[in-house]
Amino acid sequence: MIDDALLIVNFLKIKNYSKCLYIIVQPLICSYKRLYCLVLCLFLISCGSPKSAEAVFDNYLDRLSNSLDVDREDELTASALMRYPLNRELVQTTAPTKINLLDFLKLSSCDLQRHIGQRNSSLGLFLEPSQRLIYEYKFIDLGDICLQTLAVDSELYNLLEEALIVKREQLAIVRWNAVFASDEFSVLFSLSTEPLNVEEVMLEPNELYAALDDIYQYANASVMSTADEFALEQAFSVVVSSKRLGQIRHSLQLSRLFLAEADKLLTSRLSTRPLCFNERPNQKFDIVQTVFLKYYINEIQPYIAKLHQQSEPILKRIERLRNQLNSDQRMSLAFDDFWSGVFVSEDSEWQLFNAAIKQHTINWQQLLTQCGRLPS
């Protein structure tokens, strides 16, 4: 048992995955006890787990603090992120189009009658916003076809023509509700997530890019085919399965807070004695430069670069959708307030993140200039 315990202790000291695997396999070959094998298998799982962004940033701050001889703050305080507006704050009402029973029965020669009947069924009364949009497109399409079968001077023709005018006028509201007042977009912005880890941030969310492009294309179309309906529903299913914007917002905040804390360390050192005298590198500079190259350039910078690289396309796609669907300013006051705090205003999450990167770069440049080693 003492030998087993020593093996476990030695195992814990091993951080390299390949070495970890070797230590795992060796005792298994030697037929150690089942409990021991189970413990080692659990350690194998932990060896392969990706690093959290917080752990990478925290390590960077520790290294920077030690190399600069400046104490870091004990704890970072993050303010609460703005929540996505509630459905009742976003949804816009439309006037119902009513056709009495006798007029409805007169439409028996039109496919529109069956379409209206499905809408008034038990399932049709509770359509999702995206399904409601598809219903309205089909109503207009079938209504135009039905008009061609009716006498122009008939009462039913005039009734249906008026209904189609109302449907077209309200289509902008239905489009808005289908996108920004939908459960799918509420989930996309959900904050019940963690920041992207160092592996996740390297994976481009190409499916989400394509889904947002499809929603942009089909949500403002003049007509919609059956294939288009399927593509639109598929796009919304991708959106509802992703919480990427919530993850991105947490990651932007985390990066900004840690970079700001690192800037305090750098500016504190800049306000005291120079790192080097007469711009001549010394032993202290060698230590600081190692932190800069090994931990900032090799770990922090790739993370924030990839975070920026995948955030911007998503945020700009959302901005494009907002501009496309916001035909009435009253339609999106709640969303505009939210979106301004996330992306648009100077003190938005996105703009503060970019400002933090810029400021951190400037501080490093000022410090390294003291030793005549300004990076290109």
pLDDT digits (tens, 9 = 90+) for 1-56: 434 443 333 433 434 444 444 444 454 444 444 544 454 444 444 455 788 999 99
Residue 250 sits in the same domain as residue 348: yes
How far, in Å, CA of 40 to CA of 158, rounded? 78
Residue 14 sits in the same domain as residue 77: no
Residue 66 sits in the same domain as residue 158: no
Backbone φ, ψ for residue 265 (5° rounding): -65, -45
Final residue of a domain: which of 162, 177, 192? 177
Candidates 254, 89, 252; CA nearest to 181 is: 89
How far, in Å, CA of 349 to CA of 354, rounded? 9
- Give the dihedral of Cα atoms 123, 126, 131, 133; nearest 10 deg: 130
The tens digit of pLDDT for each residue in 196-246 reads: 999 999 999 999 999 999 999 998 888 888 899 999 999 999 999 998 999
Residue 328's SS3 state is: coil
Residue 251 sits in the same domain as residue 341: yes
Residue 286 sits in the same domain as residue 318: yes
Residue 106 sits in the same domain as residue 163: yes
**Angle CA 355–202–240, to nearest 5:** 90
Instruction: Examine residue 319 and state whether it is found in any structural domain, yes or no.
Output: yes
Q: Which two tokens stand for residue 115?
A: 């379409």
Query: How many helices and strands (H and E) does the chain possess?
Result: 17, 0
Residue 263 sits in the same domain as residue 359: yes
Instruction: Examine residue 227 and state whether it is found in any structural domain, yes or no.
Output: no
- 351 pLDDT more than 60: yes
Instruction: Examine residue 119 and state whether it is found in any structural domain, yes or no.
Output: yes
Residue 313 sits in the same domain as residue 354: yes
Final residue of a domain: which of 177, 200, 235? 177
Instruction: Examine residue 125 and state whether it is found in any structural domain, yes or no.
Output: yes
Residue 62 sits in the same domain as residue 123: no
How far, in Å, CA of 160 to CA of 106, rounded? 11
Residue 281 sits in the same domain as residue 358: yes
Model pLDDT, residue 344: 92
Element (H, E) at 79: none
Instruction: Examine residue 10 and state whether it is found in any structural domain, yes or no.
Output: yes
Instruction: Examine residue 211 and state whether it is found in any structural domain, yes or no.
Output: no
Instruction: Examine residue 374 and state whether it is found in any structural domain, yes or no.
Output: no
Residue 364 sits in the same domain as residue 287: yes
Residue 12 sits in the same domain as residue 33: yes
Helices assigned H by DSSP within 189-327: 206-219, 226-240, 244-270, 283-291, 301-325
Final residue of a domain: which of 149, 177, 205? 177
How many residues in total does the chain contain? 376
Instruction: Examine residue 305 and state whether it is found in any structural domain, yes or no.
Output: yes
Q: Which domain range does residue 309 map to? A: 53-81+244-369
Domain count of the chain? 3
- Comparing 3-7, 54-58, 151-155, 333-337, the range with the smallest average pLDDT is 3-7
